[in-house]
Amino acid sequence: MKFSCYKSDLTEALQFVIRAVAVKPMTPILAGIYLKAEGSTLELQANNFSTGIVTRIPVNTELPGVTVVSGKRFQEFVRNMPDDTITFSDEKDAEFLEIESGGAKVELLTMVPGEFPKVKTPDTDNSFKIRTIVLRNLIQKTVFAVAKDETRPVFTGCAFQLEGDKISLVATNTHRLALAVEKLPEYYGECNFVVPAETLRGLMLRIDPKDVENYVTLSYSTRFLTFTFDNVFVNARLIEGQFPPYDRVIPSSSTTNVTVDSNAFKNAVELVSLMSRETEYNTVKFVFGNGGIEISSNSPEVGGATTNVEAQVNGDDLSISFNVNYILDVLKVIDSPQVDIALNDKYSPAAFTEPGNDNYIYVATPVRA
């Protein structure tokens, strides 16, 4: 095989497909990336049996062919090649893939393509379409709230809930919850499934945030979900288990209601978070009242930090503490110039919403400090 391509195209594709390369492979071939050059297209595949990814980029093929190389090493060398154009060839010896660019040359050992478990399209019973940018926004506003602890796998993914012409994504680690809802262009049936967070994070990388026209097709069965759009195909094994009812943790009323400038609030919290890193639970104290919010954190070993932000506070004055990461994470995905915060007491969860948007809510449980 012999082909050449732009470094930027291949780097972007590798950043996406590398997420399906096995970290601790059962066999060496699962640590590889499958390359197939034919005509004006290079197909890249990675498959760890939990997630399979196929993506394609434009190339100039002189000699068609297939090979498999170590995914991690291939990505590293491509990223560090000196020129904007890279040429790949195994003409001299099929056991090595030559990578040449700007006078630099690398030879990577190859693996047997026939041993690579190519990504297959599973039998799926149902499908629906959604704009790619809408799906990206749903993921972005929820996936950060999943659990990192894998002892309860169902919480390490986002729950998809389809109800007619409405789709909801929900994520929780039992201490916080993010819920985002969007309308679909057509009426579909009802279904529920949980998708691994890592699959969704990778998908976000491949969706252009400026692409407002294209659609992604989601096809699902009881075990698998596939995403298909542009030159991308992702096959994900769904997480088994029943996602618990989440409505009960969303506060139905509040005694303190706050509206604050999103950016000013985020900047203030980020400042105080530098001190909170020195505390056991990254704890930051928020005092709502007197026309603003006082934000502070203290560490016996380092010192203390305090700042104030103007805000509209209606209702009872309140002092409450949170893990600062739980607050910063939601402020990074809030789109509106302002954020509304609904609170009750220092032991009850707080709800964060965007003014005028009923389709997004984030709930964070306080720290008993």
pLDDT of 280 higher than 80? no
The pair phi, psi for residue 357, each rounded to 5°, is -120, 110
pLDDT tens, position by position, 170-180: 999 999 999 99
pLDDT of 278 higher than 80? no
Instruction: Name the pLDDT band for 301 (thresholds 50, 70, 90).
Output: confident
DSSP states along 49-75: SSEEEEEEEE-EEEE-EEEEEEHHHHH
Instruction: Name the pLDDT band for 299 (thresholds 50, 70, 90).
Output: confident
pLDDT for the residue numbered 121: 85
pLDDT tens, position by position, 181-214: 999 988 998 999 999 999 999 999 889 888 888 9
Which residue, chain included where needed, has tokens 């001190």? Answer: 275
Please give the mean pLDDT across all residues of the chain.
94
- Pick from 38, 71, 29, 82: nearest CA to 57: 38
CB 337, CB 261: distance < 8 Å: yes
Average pLDDT for 208-221: 90
Average pLDDT for 12-28: 94
pLDDT of 369 higher than 80? no
pLDDT tens, position by position, 231-268: 899 999 999 988 988 888 899 999 999 999 999 999 99
pLDDT for the residue numbered 149: 87
Exposed, middle or buried, 288 (CB in 10 Å: 0-12/13-18/19+)?
buried
DSSP strand E in 92-175: where? 96-101, 104-111, 126-131, 157-163, 166-172
pLDDT of 146 higher than 80? yes
pLDDT of 323 higher than 90? yes
Average pLDDT for 79-91: 97
pLDDT for the residue numbered 213: 86
pLDDT of 101 higher than 80? yes
